Amino acid sequence: MPQHPVAPLPAPRVLARPLAMDLLTPDTEVRIDTTVGYDSRDPHALSIAFHVLGEDPVVWRVDREMILTGSLQPTGDGEIRLRPAPDGGLLLLLGPAGRRAVVRCGQEELGRFLRDTFVLVPRGTEERHIDWEPLLASLRS
């Protein structure tokens, strides 16, 4: 069976930026240091690492299109939901119902980071950055 030539993957590009967020509780707000990250090898998602109490960070992966939608209207299902905050920020509701954490971040700061990811990997080109070979090899074996 003839093999089709495969275009080489673009060189991986990684972004990371510290971003302060607030954990909202019924009684107070607690500032949390986070690092938002992006790796072009996983082109659809941002990572948000929450640095809490000196332990290993708690990392959530959030679809970048979901962040765009969530800045305008409520979106998401299951353990990740987003919606605009009344103060112009963005609310991230993370975790299962009943144990959900509500985190607020600055929509402008996150938006700048998100725009940078779309410069690295423009919308519609994400599939060109995924290495499909490991999946294909596992299917062949």
Domain map (residue ranges) of the chain: 14-140
Q: Among candidates 40, 25, 30, which has minimal Cα distance to 128? A: 40
For residue 82, what are its two tokens? 């987003």
pLDDT tens digits for 89-103? 999 999 998 999 999
pLDDT value, residue 134: 67
Q: What is the architecture, at CATH level 2, of domain 14-140?
A: Roll (2.30)
pLDDT at 141 exceeding the cut of 90: no
pLDDT tens digits for 16-69? 999 999 999 999 999 999 999 999 999 999 999 999 877 899 999 999 999 999
Identify the band that residue 11 occupies on the pLDDT scale cut at 50, 70 and 90: confident
Question: What is the identity of the amino acid at 35?
Answer: T
Q: How far apart are CA 18 and CA 35, in angstroms?
A: 4
